[in-house]
């Protein structure tokens, strides 16, 4: 059991992109251990650079600070003392949000960087996006139309990828409209009776899926799906060509119209994947979770909001939260839309985004959820993720590792798995 859990945590951590250590690490250490301040409260930072586990004395450190993801308000440099430290003061923010302190050192011609993102009343950050009056009606109509499409499932056993404990299957499920499909890999434990299930949702990319999902060894039926309507078992070169060609910039496709936006098919495809899990005789339909990070975290929240057959969710650093942030003068979530105010269609696109923004789905969650991210995430920045988290009224657990970027520590994924097993009484 220890080996299986270790393998699971390694896979999840690697997938989340945990970085390797730099030769020189540059630190901006805030004077609050939790990195949290009240609005208007100034912060003092201790700056230092570490080379071979020793602080570097008499070393120039460049610094800048300002609102998260936006132009720096001030920049300058300080020199560390004989103990290898220097100090700066950063003024408090007037409204809830985050301030980023960037630091760097140049050594032997190479620049080494670091950052710290401190929060000012993060639990009070309110979203900039708003809920359209017909939001619920739009999605109920969309689900009703999609439900009329026959599922027409095709399942192929992959004995070469199975073992004595888990069977692997490749599935194709018709979804959204005739001729459109959801593709995925299904891992089924070889145990008797109905089992809890997990819908694993992918991060942003175009990729292949294969083999046993390690969560199947923990007793779950696991359906790992793609959301692009293409098979998941092709040669990796095909996905590279698609990502650099026909599917480049897919997150912007059709955003001028709420009915043509790319993610409409993806969101409804996730609901169809739940249909499939509920159709299986080996799945306990009272215990189905959805699970993913970044784009997968986005899809987890959306799926749970759209489909109450989901009984629990785990979303880490969810994408597409409060994407109108830049439009209103602060940071927004991935994919960082509406920065260019000269776009002649920007008002139209902003209006469409509200039907897809994770914040507006988070308002309708009723299931318990486990959420995880770090303050130093520059991809799905915490101003955006807190915007979504703060509107959730369902039972919620937040697991923050402040120094993480767009990745998780193994202890966070271990805690999430333990939480999910408690939810399902495993």
Catalytic residue list:
294, 377, 406
Contact of 406 with 380, CB cutoff 8 Å: yes
- Token code pair at residue 59: 């070393």
Torsion of CA 408, 413, 414, 420, to 10 degrees: 160
- Token code pair at residue 141: 């109509």
Cβ–Cβ contacts within 10 Å for residue 167, how many?
A: 18
C-alpha to C-alpha distance for 29 and 49, rounded to whole angstroms: 11
Contact of 14 with 52, CB cutoff 8 Å: no
Place of tokens 């991060």: 203
Question: 82: buried, middle or exposed (CB in 10 Å: 19+, 13-18, 0-12)?
Answer: exposed
Contact of 211 with 185, CB cutoff 8 Å: yes
Contact of 210 with 185, CB cutoff 8 Å: yes
Fill in the DSSP letter of residue 21: P
Q: 328 by DSSP, 3-state: which?
A: helix
Strand 396-400 to 369-373 pairing: parallel
> Residues 6 or more apart from 80 whose CB is under 8 A from it?
47, 48, 49, 55, 56, 57, 58, 59, 61, 86
Torsion of CA 327, 332, 335, 340, to 10 degrees: 30
| Sheet containing 396-400, strands listed edge to edge, beginning at the edge strand earlier in sequence | 154-157, 166-174, 181-189, 221-225, 195-200, 283-293, 312-316, 369-373, 396-400
């Amino acid at each position: 059991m220890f080996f299986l859990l270790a393998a699971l945590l390694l896979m999840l951590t690697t997938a989340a992109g945990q970085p390797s250590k730099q030769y020189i690490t540059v630190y901006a250490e805030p004077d609050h251990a939790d990195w949290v301040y009240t609005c208007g409260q100034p912060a003092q930072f201790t700056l230092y650079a570490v080379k071979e586990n020793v602080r570097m004395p008499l070393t120039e450190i460049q610094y800048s600070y300002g609102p998260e993801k936006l132009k720096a308000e001030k920049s300058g440099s300080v020199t560390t003392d004989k103990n290898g430290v220097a100090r700066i003061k950063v003024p408090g923010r007037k409204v809830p949000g985050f301030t980023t302190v960037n630091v760097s050192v140049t050594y032997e011609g190479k620049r080494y960087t670091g950052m710290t993102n401190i929060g000012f009343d993060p639990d009070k950050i309110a979203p900039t996006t708003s809920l359209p009056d017909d939001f619920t009606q739009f999605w109920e109509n969309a689900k009703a139309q999609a439900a009329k499409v026959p599922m027409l499932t095709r399942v192929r056993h992959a004995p070469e990828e199975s073992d004595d404990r888990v069977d692997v299957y490749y599935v194709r499920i018709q979804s959204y409209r005739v001729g459109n499909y959801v593709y995925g890999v299904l891992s089924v434990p070889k145990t008797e009776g109905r089992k809890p299930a997990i819908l694993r949702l992918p991060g942003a990319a175009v990729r292949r899926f294969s083999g046993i999902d390690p969560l199947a060894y923990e007793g779950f039926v696991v359906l790992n799906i793609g959301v692009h309507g293409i098979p998941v078992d092709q040669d990796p070169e095909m996905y590279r060509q698609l990502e650099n060609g026909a599917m480049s910039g897919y997150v912007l496709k059709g955003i001028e119209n709420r009915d043509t936006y790319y993610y409409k098919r993806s969101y409804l495809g996730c609901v169809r994947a739940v249909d499939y899990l509920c159709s299986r005789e080996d799945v306990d339909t009272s215990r189905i979770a959805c699970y993913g990070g970044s784009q997968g975290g986005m899809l987890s929240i959306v799926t749970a909001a759209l489909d109450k057959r989901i009984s629990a969710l785990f979303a880490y650093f969810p994408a597409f939260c409060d994407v109108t942030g830049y439009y209103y003068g602060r940071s927004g979530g991935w994919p960082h839309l509406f920065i260019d105010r000269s776009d002649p269609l920007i008002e139209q696109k902003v209006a469409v985004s509200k039907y897809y923004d994770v914040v507006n789905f988070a308002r309708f969650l009723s299931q318990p959820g486990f959420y995880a991210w770090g303050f130093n995430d520059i991809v799905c920045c915490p101003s955006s993720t807190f915007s979504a988290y703060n509107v959730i009224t369902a039972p919620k657990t937040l697991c923050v590792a402040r120094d993480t970027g767009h990745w998780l520590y193994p202890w966070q994924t271990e805690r999430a798995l333990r939480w999910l097993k408690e939810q399902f009484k495993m």
